Structure 1
Amino acid sequence: MIEPEPVFGDIKNNRGFKRILLQGLPNVGLEVGWLSLAHNLLKKAAVDAKSKGVKHL
């Protein structure tokens, strides 16, 4: 089972994103998609850095 709450907590607290900036369902979906993409890319970069032995990104 996957829990989505830690992802939203990370985006809000660690990335500083507090509110949706655009209006309208298509725009909000796009903005959330960009946030999800950024979160997943940062997570992938951290995993890759850990496997290569890099201490910090």
Structure 2
Amino acid sequence: MIEPESVFGQINNNRGFGRLLLRGLPNVSLEVGWLSFTHNLLKKAVVDRNREMAAQGSP
């Protein structure tokens, strides 16, 4: 089971995002989409960096 609350907690606390800046359903959907995109992109960057470091550390 996936826990979405942790993602929102990371976006709010770790990324410093407190409130939506835009109003209206289409604008809010766009803003949440960008937040989700950047969250996933940062997660992928961490995974890629860890793989690269593991590959460099192994003989």
Normalised by the size of structure 2, how large is the TM-score? 0.89
Identity %: 70
Segments of structure 1 that go 5 or more residues without pairing to the other structure are none
Count of residues paired in the alignment: 54
Provide the C-alpha distance between the structure 1 equivalents of 2:2 and 2:18, rounded to a whole number of angstroms. 23
Moved over 6 A (4+): none
Distance (whole Å) between structure 2 residues aligned to residue 5 and residue 25 of structure 1 = 21
Name the amino acid aligned to 2:11.
I
Unaligned runs of 5+ in 2: 55-59
Structure 2 residue aligned with 1:34: 34
Name the structure with the higher helix share: 2
